[in-house]
Structure 1
């Protein structure tokens, strides 16, 4: 049995086991239901997200604009209804056993999305208008509207950000923030720094757009939490969570002019959530095939040939009223080739850059809320393993084949405490520790090139933010 088949089998067994365990939990019959309206038109709004703040519980309004939470633990909750392009609305609700409470929402359009929640500025959920640093958001809706196949196709639609294609043969891309080179910017996956130097070469095109919930871009070194790797800025990729039961299959076909250089892209999304919202899984996949493109007819590509497949899943399990376990895994296999004579082996071309990646990435996070949710502890670990077979050569050189292995592993913990009054106004204290390990082994046998590198990074951070709705002060190290 292959590794991929084994992982898939284990995932299915775990999902079924978790589902059965969750469904067997005690039934309180404490329910909340209602609808969401557009404040200007009075019409019901399908697809709105209604979530219970400071928990992992969320629901999406159905085709008639209604939502329901079932079998909640009796008590008081703060509900928030939100929709892209609208200001969110919050309401306090108290529910008891064997009782159904109706709570309705009416939300208003917000063209600037200043009330959208972001996490990049301080690693805690903060509304954009209250964020200590300017955070721009690239939404899943924008990625869909611009026809983006990958992250690289969508980042250009952010102010102060430019995606460059710096090699017509291999298609190497880098993101420039405030004009600085790509290595001055930190790329994060769900706030985790698992993008290594090797992965970052082609990584912007290896992240499918259909797995992205939003991308938060912070220009400049606006926070002490990201260290020296984020001098130019930070790009934080937030992946989608399961919210409701749904499935979607899509296929797009694009062409550069009428040249016949086609880009076929097939995507799959599926979301499954238990009725009591205690467990859920989001599955995503992409298969893409792009032809090489020669713009001036000289026989050498300006756009590299590309074939890639991605399959992944993100799941959560609510282990208690105030705790949650989140797991994510995805695999990407990508082949790209540029230069001339694409129908011939790489060593038969005058110029060829050929790269074959196989990437496995995973993440685990455990969240615990304490003291009536005034304290939040998050323990996390993430890893990414990359195998690369490559050819970089010219003049039919048979010695330019190489292979590279790259492993990134990191783990840590973060503690957050909300304080009613610290010195002169309400504050939020964030403290954390992280450890990161990166091992790179690059070999080109024909050139007697063999490099091994191990990097160990230990870090700690402490940040306090004073905020009262009108003023905010941030100090960190």
Structure 2
């Protein structure tokens, strides 16, 4: 019995020591700044966690063994460290992450609503960091996108200079623009939503080309632009960026961070833009660029919660006053017929947030709300509109073995009212109120390490148009770390409000005709994406990403400018529309500091109606972008040469006698910048924009027709309403501002100063 007792004691002691556990903890930092929400995992186990606001992580109950710990975070290179645990003493393991300038290694969220390394995502997502946009500094994100391959800012009005974003030849309303994943930039705000976001607070911009409606609903029919703002914990204590040009454009970006100890961290950003000149270099009596006075304030809070649960809230307010037109115009002429001007007052407020519920399951509540008020005068035409959008979404994120599930419910409410016939019923005001509830599910299934399939479906019910289904399928094969192939297909939908999206309908003298009740537009898309990484023996890195895309639209709404020069006629196409082509992005990094980012896209965009194929207006067949950067370390000087090139586009003419070119020429906007970084925390930059001094007026007698008679007081018509050719009107035209395809602003210098205090 005595020996049996000793044996039992020995066994219990052995088991106890065999199962003895310890704690592994540490901090994740970058240049002494803590990194929040970095993912820390023990490779080959189920242990995974995220860092808190202090950059700290901890693993409990770790048994004695040898492990490999991996850390990943947005914008930083992945790090792995081996660790050997042989005792019960707590082990401290810290990481110092290095910034990752290679866009192929970014972590993205837009493709699947989950944070995932870009190369691991089944959905192709393009990522652009502030480093990319600093190569050609601009006062707004709208202008900054001009150097992104396949993305083109398009001016829609030659006087007020409003515009939208084209992706792969598709007009702006087909692109959903989001801030931190919230659909707050849509409909009325599409034209102005990309202005006034402080560039200093942007962490990165993610772009998905192709429908994303199975996750994001309406508007994401042709593409998605997601602006990710900085995490307050990672932002500098103070930042400033002041830019001015030889045209006396002034842009100021200010940012600051403060902490409420142990409770929250907040960042505040201010953007101010002013341009008050009345330059008329094309001598038509009208301003070449609209005068603008804009101020925007952004504030984001990150609250500390138990177990690192997420809670962020952000607000933004914007006010803008812009005008263009006759150089003699003053505010006293606003809305009158004495001197022509287009004057737009915009007030906008936004609220967005994310709250992780205090449950064992990962449940995330996301919400946003916007208010947008616009008071415009296009000559004597008044456009006063009020739009409110409320959005709420609850998602459940669950990983079960090889299945990565995401399900959610969402609802969007849109209120829209204006002073046009769009919200009138039997001579009474009838604001449009639309509910759009939806439910969606997504499953990302991994087969070993090489194969991954994504299945998704969404159901929405529109209070006007009824039921809408949007399925999605994606397949990724990872041959190895340097060769990845993806295939994606899915559908998208968009509920349309013409008056909020087509400002050509409100400018000039054209009458808007809606030929029928417009149905929601729908699209089916397929794309094939291939990524190749090449590491040469001399250390040079070459990344190549090629995508072939095909999108077919049904119910597409087309605008007819040609049937009647005094009208714009809208209806659903009796047929279909296509957008197809191929694009390629190349990233080359040499060991001597020379870096190339090159992109090119060839596309065939067409409308097919009654068996006849036509090319839409303002759609190029080929576009190219480039960025060449080199750093001379000995003198702390960086050089950036950026540019783009566009093939001819079909342009809207008023009549057969219109003397303007029916197609735009090949044209290119090129820029050069020099940046000095020899002073601590400062960057001094200067350069030249539009080196070739290109303006749309070249090879055209005029851009805006009949600026001498903008109210058409001297235009004569025949019995059928056709404009007559008279000595005073030799081309038989009316006043019109729709002939525009690029900014009417020539060569100019710029100078700026940046300061960051960490």
TM-score (norm 1): 0.76
Does the aligned pair in 2 maintain the 1:33–1:100 contact within 8 Å?
A: no
- Tell me the residue number matched to 1:247: 238
Q: Structure 2 vs 1, CA of residues 390 and 450 (structure 1 numbering), >3 Å: closer, same or farther?
A: farther
1:383-439 deviation line (CA, Å, top 9, x unaligned): 00112221112xxx4xx344221101011201110111xxxxx12111011110111
1:428-447 paired onto structure 2 within 5 Å: 428-443=404-419
Equivalent position to 1:461, from 440, 457, 460: 440
- Tell me the residue number matched to 1:283: 268
Equivalent position to 1:358, from 331, 342, 347: 347
Equivalent position to 2:167, from 136, 158, 177: 177
C-alpha separation in 2, matches of 1:352 and 1:235: 32
C-alpha separation in 2, matches of 1:52 and 1:78: 13
User: Which has the higher mean CA deviation after the structures are superposed, 314-323 or 431-440?
Assistant: 314-323
C-alpha separation in 2, matches of 1:335 and 1:452: 25
1:188-199 paired onto structure 2 within 5 Å: 188-199=178-189
Once the 2 structures are TM-superposed, how far is the Cα of residue 381 of structure 1 from its aligned partner? Answer: 1.5
1:80-99 paired onto structure 2 within 5 Å: 80=71, 84=75, 87-90=77-80
1:415 aligns with 2:396: yes
Equivalent position to 2:128, from 119, 129, 138: 138
Once the 2 structures are TM-superposed, how far is the Cα of residue 319 of structure 1 from its aligned partner? Answer: 2.3
Does the aligned pair in 2 maintain the 1:390–1:403 contact within 8 Å?
A: yes
C-alpha separation in 2, matches of 1:35 and 1:215: 23
Does the aligned pair in 1 maintain the 2:256–2:267 contact within 8 Å?
A: yes
Unaligned runs of at least 5 residues, structure 2: 1-23, 40-48, 63-67, 458-758
Equivalent position to 1:32, from 26, 29, 42: 26
Once the 2 structures are TM-superposed, how far is the Cα of residue 229 of structure 1 from its aligned partner? Answer: 2.4
C-alpha separation in 2, matches of 1:302 and 1:366: 46
Does the aligned pair in 1 maintain the 2:36–2:50 contact within 8 Å?
A: no
Once the 2 structures are TM-superposed, how far is the Cα of residue 295 of structure 1 from its aligned partner? Answer: 3.3
User: Which has the higher mean CA deviation after the structures are superposed, 315-324 or 377-386?
Assistant: 315-324
Q: Structure 2 vs 1, CA of residues 476 and 174 (structure 1 numbering), >3 Å: closer, same or farther?
A: same
Does the aligned pair in 1 maintain the 2:108–2:125 contact within 8 Å?
A: yes
Does the aligned pair in 1 maintain the 2:152–2:165 contact within 8 Å?
A: yes
C-alpha separation in 2, matches of 1:380 and 1:367: 9
SS in 2 for 1:204: coil
SS in 2 for 1:194: strand
Q: Structure 2 vs 1, CA of residues 132 and 236 (structure 1 numbering), >3 Å: closer, same or farther?
A: same
TM-score (norm 2): 0.49
Once the 2 structures are TM-superposed, how far is the Cα of residue 94 of structure 1 from its aligned partner? Answer: 12
Q: Structure 2 vs 1, CA of residues 211 and 168 (structure 1 numbering), >3 Å: closer, same or farther?
A: farther
Does the aligned pair in 1 maintain the 2:142–2:195 contact within 8 Å?
A: yes
1:271-322 deviation line (CA, Å, top 9, x unaligned): 224666x521111111110235433021212321111111121001122114
Does the aligned pair in 2 maintain the 1:271–1:283 contact within 8 Å?
A: yes
- Tell me the residue number matched to 1:404: 385
Once the 2 structures are TM-superposed, how far is the Cα of residue 131 of structure 1 from its aligned partner? Answer: 1.1
User: Which has the higher mean CA deviation after the structures are superposed, 465-474 or 175-184?
Assistant: 465-474
Does the aligned pair in 1 maintain the 2:53–2:304 contact within 8 Å?
A: no
- Tell me the residue number matched to 2:255: 269
1:32-431 paired onto structure 2 within 5 Å: 32-33=26-27, 49=35, 51-53=37-39, 55=50, 57-58=52-53, 69=56, 80=71, 84=75, 87-90=77-80, 101-105=92-96, 111=102, 113-221=103-211, 224-244=214-234, 246-255=237-246, 261-273=247-259, 279-292=264-277, 293-340=279-326, 341-345=328-332, 346-347=334-335, 350-368=339-357, 371=360, 375-393=361-379, 397=380, 400-420=381-401, 426-431=402-407
Q: Which has the larger radius of gyration?
A: 2
Does the aligned pair in 2 maintain the 1:81–1:105 contact within 8 Å?
A: no
C-alpha separation in 1, matches of 2:29 and 2:205: 28
CA RMSD of aligned residues (A): 3.4
